[in-house]
Amino acid sequence: MTQNRPYLFLNRLVVVTHTGVIAYDETFHLGVNIIRGVNSSGKSTIANFIFFALGGNFENWTTEALKCREVFAEVNINGAVVTLRRYIGEGSNKPMNIFWGAYEASRKNAIEWQTYPYRQTAQTTSYTNILFKALNFPEVKNTDTDSNITMHQLLRLMYIDQDTPTQSLFRFERFDLPLTRQTIAEVLLGVYDDTLYTQRLNLRTAQKLQEDKKRQYEHLNRLFSRSGTETNLEAIQAQIEDTRQEYNSNEEKIVELKATQRVRTNTRTATNSEVLQQALSSTKSALKTTQEQADQLEFDVFDSRQFIKTLEKRVYDLNNSLLTRKTLGELPLTHCPQCLSLLDANHPESICLLCKQPLTEDAEKANAKRLLVEMELQIKESEGLLEEKEKQLLDLRGQLVVLQQRVRLEQKQLDAAISNVQSTRDDRIDALLIRQGELTRQLEYLAEQIKIVSVLKQLKSELEELAATIKGLQLEIEDKEARQRANFDKAMRKIKEYTLQILKADLDRQEEFKNPRNLEIDFMKDVFTLDGGNNFSASSKTYFKNAVLFAIFFAGVELDYFRYPRFILCDNMEDNGMEKIRTQNFQKAITDISNGLKNPHQIIFTTSMVNDDLNNTPLCIGREYSSNDKSLRMKSQ
């Protein structure tokens, strides 16, 4: 064997009972291996032992199987002969013992057996890790659960058992995640790339880190922008230098002042008192001006209010006048109010009934309305002006309160300054010390500012590096995904080719199998269809499922990038009412394909209806089992 592609072949299977009896001991070969016997003769038990010995997690043992203690599988993994041992019993996740050598050698060497658990932990290595390394498989992560894909998971697509429904390609699992199935298929079809998985993780990590740092950068930058703080590092350093120079200069001045002779005066200190006096005078002047403005404005407000009241009264009177005129105009006059003589009822409406003068009522009404509107507008404008004046007055009154308090405070400070005699030198020292305190705080603030600007600069640099990293990862991932898709498409075409070949080889039982055109497989959903359907008879479903799984196996044997270890185990050829002649025809079809393959491979299948041309040939493993001579022999012969 010189192939670089992974393979796993079963050389020998040995089953030992609790009493130490060898219940089963058979050797296997490359190509087709047939385990035959009547129903209930133990063929499935042997198939389950093989699945279990190679790493499958099996716990639904028959009574006969539970009479056995351990199973040995001598296998050839990529040219290395290894013996695997697992103890049979209740429960799941059994560990595996591994001996690097042939079965015979393992029986003579109890020391070099190594035990590995089913699952990998931070401190332990699982038997899957060992077998994967022997097969040159990468460590396969399940992105759904962040757990590793196990040997058991891979065998689910390599073992066709009787318990799994015919609608499923994968061996039944109670808790089965879609992405786990997809990952299993990608591994076996050779499209899984562990570096791609790592790069995807790295990309996800880098993108998350970029988002976090970008958020930090934008937050800090926004704070700086709002505060108007300098963000240029060189400018801040220049400010620090200027501040330090002023600080040092003040220190020297303070030392010089302290060294001079102290001179006391008996009057108020010229500098401080003068400053306070000037400030007090300025404040009093402002207070006076403000008070005058407030008084004038208060008078204006009063005047405006009176004016508005006058206008409102005029509007009220005018409305009353119009109402009165309207009321009087509606009263019918039949007699003259002066002489009480009867008035002429047939006079023109435009002539006054009493004085016979032309009536100008409409013009008067219009004039009255105009006056009314003008006065209302004047009221509105006056109210707006009044409101503005009241606001100004309120503001001035507020200023008056502040100015009055300031006058009192400054007067108090001035009185205190006059009463406390202090030298001009001390005044200068105090002023310098106060300035030194301000400069110290300024230096502390600038130092803090430098830290933040440095953080901003560092964040910007890191964001640029992350952007470059993300870009590079995206390009590499896109390239690998393109190659992955190309290999996957190629694999699916080959699987389709073999599936259609096997279906066409079927007997005339299912109309859709005669001229099939398209095969669709969704490993993630675990569904497969032929020309859009899978609603066949029960036996045809079995035939179709076996055809697809054997097609995956044959494609794996032929295509060099597959990781499928060129081993398949089938215990489901004649379920669901498969006719004898149809089962035997299927056996012949896969045997013919197997014979035509150049690359080494191994097929193991069980049957109670072995093809006559295949029976009693070197393809058969052991004897043909019967109800009286079952596969497991519990007693020594």
Largest distance between two CA atoms of the chain: 161
Task: Tell me: pLDDT of 365 over 70.
Answer: no
Structure pTM?
0.63
Spatial distance between the Cα atoms of 282 and 273, rounded to a whole number of angstroms: 14
Query: Bridge partners of 125?
Result: none
Residue type present at position 277:
Q
Mean pLDDT (the chain) is 88
> Quick one: pLDDT band at residue 267, thresholds 50, 70, 90?
very low
Most confident of the ranges 274-283, 291-300, 343-352: 291-300
Q: Residue 431's Cα: distance from chain center in Å?
A: 60
For 238-260, how does the pLDDT look when each residue is reduced to its tens digit (9 = 90+)?
Answer: 889 999 999 999 999 888 888 87
Q: Coil, helix or strand for 560? A: coil
Q: What is the mean pLDDT of residues 412-434?
A: 78
Q: What is the mean pLDDT of residues 595-615?
A: 96
Share of the chain above pLDDT 70, in %: 90
What is the residue-wise DSSP string for 194-224?
HHHHHHHHHHHHHHHHHHHHHHHHHHHHHHH
Q: What is the mean pLDDT of residues 82-92?
A: 94
Q: What is the mean pLDDT of residues 107-136?
A: 91
> Quick one: pLDDT band at residue 331, thresholds 50, 70, 90?
low
> Quick one: pLDDT band at residue 422, thresholds 50, 70, 90?
low
Nearest to 17 by CA among 84, 82, 85, 71: 71
> Quick one: pLDDT band at residue 329, thresholds 50, 70, 90?
low
> Quick one: pLDDT band at residue 580, thresholds 50, 70, 90?
very high
Q: What is the mean pLDDT of residues 460-484?
A: 93
DSSP structural state of residue 634: -
Tokens at 128, concatenated: 């899957």
Cβ atoms of 120 and 112 closer than 8 Å: no
Spatial distance between the Cα atoms of 127 and 134, rounded to a whole number of angstroms: 11
- What local confidence, expressed as pLDDT, does residue 268 receive? 45
Beta strands (DSSP E) in 61-218 are: 68-77, 80-87, 96-99, 114-116, 141-142, 147-148, 159-160
Nearest to 64 by CA among 569, 633, 624, 625: 633
Share of the chain above pLDDT 90, in %: 53
For 139, list phi and psi in degrees, rounded to 5.
Answer: -70, 125
Name which of 103-117, 422-436, 615-629 the model is least confident about: 422-436
- What local confidence, expressed as pLDDT, does residue 4 receive? 64
DSSP structural state of residue 563: -
Structural domains of the chain in order of their starting residue, each with its CATH number: 8-192+506-607 (3.40.50.300)
For 206-232, how does the pLDDT look when each residue is reduced to its tens digit (9 = 90+)?
Answer: 999 999 999 988 888 887 777 666 667
- What local confidence, expressed as pLDDT, does residue 2 receive? 36
Most confident of the ranges 247-261, 262-276, 544-558: 544-558
Name which of 269-273, 481-485, 554-558 the model is least confident about: 269-273
Q: What is the mean pLDDT of residues 175-184?
A: 86
Task: Tell me: pLDDT of 90 over 80.
Answer: yes
Residue with tokens 């300024």: 442
Name which of 102-116, 210-224, 502-516, 608-622 the model is least confident about: 210-224
Residue type present at position 346:
N
> Quick one: pLDDT band at residue 322, thresholds 50, 70, 90?
confident
